[in-house]
Structure 1
C-alpha cells in the first residue's frame, strides 16, 4: 500500500511540475542601434517574431547572472525571452532571460 501511495504521489508531482514550466522563446537578429535602455534588433527573415514587426526593442536588463556581453551595432545576437508586446513604439520584449553573441553560440546549439 505504501509503495502504491508513493508512486501515485510521484506521478502527481511530475504532472504538477510539468504544468509550471515557463515558456522561453528566442530569435536571432542584427543589432541596428543601441540606446540607453534598449537594443534595437532586426530579426532574421526566418524568425517568427518578424511577422509581428521588423524591429524589436530588447531591454538591456536581463535575468541571466552572466549579464550582457559587450555588444555593438551590426553584431548578430540571439535573444532568449518570455513574451513580447506590440506597442506604439513597436515590438517590445517583456522579460529577457539572456542575450548571446551569435558567434559564441556556433557549434553549441541547434535551432
Structure 2
C-alpha cells in the first residue's frame, strides 16, 4: 500500500483544512406550488471523514462560489480545495483567485 498524500496527514490542523469538493444533481424541490431544479455541492474533509452538503440554485460558477463562502463561514478557513476539472469549478477557481488579488 502506498503512503498517504501529505494533505491527508496533518496532525495539528483542524478539520476541513484540506477539502475535496464536487457538484452533483439535479433534483427537484418544491417551492410554493411549483417544482424547481436544484443541484448540490459536496465538501469532503481529507483528514476526518466528514461530509457537509450545500444546495446550489444553478450549475454556474457564481452558485459554487456562494456555496464555498457558506461552507467557509460555517467550517472555518480552508487551505486547499481538491476537485475535478468541471467547467463551473475551474471558472469558480479563477474568480476566487482574481478576488484574492484585488483584496
The two structures share one fold, judged by TM-score above 0.5: no
Per the normalisation by structure 2, the TM-score is 0.29
TM-score normalised to structure 1 length: 0.27
Higher helix share goes to which structure?
A: 2
